[in-house]
Amino acid sequence: MIMKDFFDKNLFQEVFNSNEFKGWLLSRRWFGDKSLLSNLLFKITVYYFNIISERIFLTIIEVTYDDYSKKYFLPIIVYEKIQDILEPNETTRENVVKLTENTFSKILALSVHDNQKEKITYLNLVEAEYCVLFWKKILFDKTISETFPNMSLELTLYTEQFEDEFNMLKVRNLIEASLYPERYEYELQQLGGGNTTNLLFALKVSNKKNSHEKPISYVLKSYKDFSGSLEPRKLFVLVKNNFPNAPKIYGMIKIQDRETIGIYEDVPNSGNLGDIYWNELNNMVNSIFKVVDDDDPSLGDKEKISGYIKNYCANSLQVSEKIGLQIKKLHEALILQSDPLYSKEIVSSVEYLKDYTDKLLEMVERMQETMSKSSEGAFYSSPKVLSTLIDIKDIIEKFRSEFKGDTINIQPVHQDLHFQQILVNKSNGDYMFYFIDFEGDPQLDNKEKEQKFPIEKDLGSFLRSLSYIKFNTLLKFIEDRIIDKDKIEVPAEFLFNLYFRKSSKTTKKHKILENALKILNVWENKLMGKIFEQSPDLQITLINYFTIERVLHELSYELLFRPDKILVPILGLKEIIDKY
């Protein structure tokens, strides 16, 4: 049977409102507000529907529940046998398993028009972005692209912004592949391990005649939240300012004038910045405790620890020296004074900090309310944990009252700058950095994302990544060396006791943990010092403000989705309190 003859908008609306589909939707990484919608009482409306080929259906769904409403871009491919939608190079066992795991299946009874009988069929649908078939049709099938205006679709290729031959070649390659698709082969690979709020893929395009030439690779980004994205415009500003450390944007597909698919440069990289820090830190800690007795007093000697860091964390120190300057250059390149959205402004510090203080205090109060409703057995209902939230409110007020300076500079910033947003490539012994994912702070709505911030917002976010690596290294160390494998012991409990339950009697395990923590604290402070060297005019108070905001967002997320991981943000707040 021909798929598009049987599947229409009404059928999809009926399927989408089944509890089975809603459950599948909740399992998608990009689907937000899971806690609010987990009762499955929400309604799904097919807001936009178009058939672009036999098996490919472009849909935008609107999810509504009480006063809540949100739209998602959801292109889907329908199939009977999975082999029917795969290119020959996609039929690997790994890919078939991944697609099968991501498939939604349902038995349907379809009314066949030419007789009165119902036809029983299996509906299998998968997000279209996972298949080369979708990208070939939407990007390179001229017969489909010619019908784009009738479907409120628009494909724009940014040819005018590039003067260099390297990037012009990549854009020309896209145009040629759309004119002569039969001359090319395509290979698709998912990026980000599926752990991204938008779907990301690398598409390699090879000319069949020039098989000896290296394929040209692009990053394709599907914007699932159908509210428009600021990322393309930010990247365009960076290109106009000749900033070399972010991917170039080659093209964009819009539906009803909203960004849905971006075509970007695939920048060379060996991983993200966090990989360097994590690997060297864990190697250092493991190596130190192999050659030195666990409770050796020399482990508390800062000079000796500095020597270890110099020996074991050479790459971490090198990238820390450079990244501070690159962040500074990024902030300079995000300013375009001729564009009101991207200009720099000066605001009153009194008013700005009052608004921000109110916002943070409101967040803390929401946490307190959530925790007070939790079961008594939950560890975070401990009075010592709850007192941390009371203390952090005092600290926030202290920062506001002690801030020096009448004005604060605000401008466009990255908003979500953590280690996974910075790709690293090493060439001839030197590091190159690429900043990615300019969609803004995921905790903000689109109107808030358009706001300007002090550059310290990015630094607060960035430094939280160091803290996360530190605490997760410590948890791994506890699991590997401290807990008794014959007993049911939890690493987080040992870490909690280290900070919150000071005992008059110091056990050997406690002493080992204290030494490990000293090493990690010296490591964190040394790298922070290297990062800050390039920006001596940064306001530490503002960095603390945004660090607290970041920790509170983390705490909110962990409370909702991973209560067992709540300790790391709690300790982030505890360290700020103990420091001030």
Q: Residues 496-523: pLDDT tens digits?
A: 888 887 665 667 888 888 889 999 999 9
Q: How far is CA 16 from the centre of its chain?
A: 27
Q: Report pLDDT digits (tens) over 517-563.
A: 999 999 999 999 998 887 778 899 999 999 999 999 888 888 776 77
| Helix count and strand count (H, E) for the chain | 20, 17
CB 400 within 8 A of CB 357: yes
d(CA 530, CA 316): 10
Task: Quote the DSSP letter at residue 415.
Answer: S
Q: Give pLDDT tens digits for 283-294.
A: 999 998 887 766
Q: For the chain, what are the domain ranges?
A: 3-127, 132-265, 273-579
Q: Is the pLDDT of residue 155 over 60?
A: yes
- Residues 410-465: pLDDT tens digits? 999 999 999 999 999 988 888 999 999 999 998 888 889 999 999 999 999 999 99
Q: How far is CA 549 from the centre of its chain?
A: 17
- 86 pLDDT higher than 50: yes
CB 203 within 8 A of CB 187: yes
Radius of gyration of the chain (CA): 26
Strand-strand pairing, 56-65 and 43-51: antiparallel
- Helix H or strand E encompassing 70: strand 68-73
Whether the Cβ atoms of residue 424 and residue 510 lie closer than 8 Å to each other: no
The architecture of the domain spanning 273-579 is: Alpha-Beta Complex (3.90)
Report the percentage of the chain scoring pLDDT > 70.
Answer: 93
Long-range contacts of 445-452 (CB under 8 A, 24+ apart): 446/227, 446/228, 446/230, 449/230, 449/415, 450/230, 450/341, 452/344, 452/345, 452/410, 452/411, 452/412, 452/413
Residue 257 CB partners (closer than 8 Å, separation 6+): 152, 154
Q: Which two tokens stand for residue 69?
A: 């409403």
More confident residue, 200 or 538: 200
| Angstrom distances, CA of residue 158 to CA of 143, 149, 207, 209, 287 | 21, 18, 22, 26, 51
Nearest to 466 by CA among 518, 415, 525, 512: 525
φ, ψ of residue 377 to 5 degrees: the values are -75, -15
Calculate the average pLDDT of the chain. 88
At 428-440, the pLDDT tens digits run: 888 999 999 999 9
Tokens of 513: 């943990």
Q: Pairing between strand 153-157 and 199-207?
A: unpaired
Alpha helices in 113-164 (DSSP H): 132-140, 142-145
Q: How large a percentage of the chain has pLDDT more than 90?
A: 58
Mean pLDDT of the 14-31 span: 94
Closest CA to 532 of 545, 543, 517: 543
Q: Can you spell out the DSSP letters for 191-256? A: -GGG-SSSEEEEEEEEESTTTTSPPEEEEEEE--BTT--SHHHHHHHHHHTT--SSPPEEEEEEET
Residues in the chain: 580
To 10 degrees, the CA torsion angle through 323, 329, 331, 335? -170
Over residues 210-224, the mean pLDDT reads 89
Write out the two tokens for 94.
Answer: 């790994």
